Structure 1
């Protein structure tokens, strides 16, 4: 790999790392934020919801922007937006400034994530792309755990505000590399066609859907609004010559991979959230020790992701995905045995090893299949769909787990229900990706 592509891969990995650690760092500082800024529970929830809504709502737009206006320009725009949001959040004197800042951060992340992944499609081919995607995929789980540790240290010994300031030097570094390495990439003809109505419908549709499952009081009303905009969006994409989300992206395997990614992300986000709550409320871990407690998951995820290039080369995406999902099912089964009397090592750490290694094996094949055979002109749009599926999945999974466990009184029982949902989501992913095989269908039918 030449020096230019090493620098490009550095930008890609740092971009995803920044967005991955952001949520975890904020989680550890929520209590201090509420105390310092006088936030009630509703305002505090919007510190998270504003980021999630912006990220989910602008994801497809973020993916198509770099296809239309060039990778370097849009990547730099995303970095600047994320940096401005981080700076404003760090100095926020009130709830409204903090929430608006988080919304700006979310827009930056929505543009940054698909643009950086599109760079992998542009500059890496064959086995090098498999390796690059493996590194990219490993950053997600690694970033979440590192974010918990960094956030715990900052919240415990300094201030939650430093959790936003630490992004600034990284962003500056990425901007310098981008300006040095990436070409301008402007279209030669100055008549850039942009799907304005498709953009509007996609933003409003995804925004309504994410809001329906993560914040709205009248869920069914907002789901209906989301479906209306989705209908208008699809109709628009069918007739426009340069759509924001080309429907040709949705062939059989890419569609299944993105649906599977949505459910996979939901299972793992719920896992992170509820196990963190369990460790603090039942096991009485501090925020710092919660981050440390996730080390088995972090290390096994990274190790699994590093095994992916060789596994995909020898066995292909499907067999690697099969092995990863099997390990995840075993991990969730282990978590189902956890109760208030369980020790950390036997009840959580050992199942984490299976979940982490499985997660490391699963993410890269799902990404590979989600962008399989995508034309270069659609690479940004395709990666936007992959990232939108992941982000929306996080909201869906967490919301489903919160809803189905709402009648439970004890955290151990709540956590048990959440792990059962995670197991169910993973089982559905397994079915989506493998039960379409004719021989397997026939075998099951004749059992």
Structure 2
């Protein structure tokens, strides 16, 4: 069954842009990751009998996403050679849809109450402003927003490494992050810092640091302070400290894979990182969630790694166009599907005990709503804002600290 019908905006040529053949495998992986996360939430509510027990479907999708981010983001920054342009592009890539979804959920809060995990305090606003939600121990208005915390922490660290002139050794960083995850699992039952302090501190540092970066003042120092702050917050205030460090290790493992592919690194750091990340919850004082039990956690990691390897194996071939199109709208799928699902839950109630035909019909209706809506949000929010971000990033390029410096022979795949 096609997940992107030709009548959908998600599949129409004016709604999505064709992807260069050499990049299609990355969008395919994004599409797979998005479908996995959507599937996790859909089957939990509607068809629990379909939910796998040997691995966690949602975490599998997130790990695939993180491997793609690690593979793409650092070399994209190095190819552009400009920290300020990088951040302009990231802001216009991430924030417009993020803000739109936040606004939608809050506007519906009179009907569908905001999650109890979101503090009814101003520091929740501070945490949402930086996207460092899980990193500072704050629940997101939309549950899936927790992953953006670790993406943002990764971006901050990558930008710091680039600004400081450290373009190599990402495999070693992946191993160190894996060791830190294992150590945190052995020593920290919970975050040492709780409450609103981490959220307010991160907002102050984030605002001041980004102000310096975007105005071209003290760019190297500001980038380094931002990166060090993100790194410090991971073990100190993440809701499950070892988990945040493990996610960082996974992303840097993706970077190490890219280095190996380009002949400037080896795969042993990746293998060692995977081993460390897999072992992190085994002896952890507090695992955090049921699906972090060793057998489920390890099988989830292995499946994500195999999926990424399969995608790399297909990088010289044509991949199904509906998967690449899903990859292009994957961010919309990721953020939009839960609000739609919450509305359906509110209207239809619990579905897990409904007759099978009703469950199948509910799933079909959900997908028939989700795909066109995600196509429209991509077309009217994501794509125009990305285009504007690119124009502003190009206009911002120029000589200066941390900007306009091109590394020696580095290129990116996307």
TM-score tier (shorter) = 0.3 to 0.5
Q: Which has the higher contact order (CA 8 A, sep 6+)?
A: 2
TM-score by length of 1: 0.31
Structure with the largest fraction of helix: 1
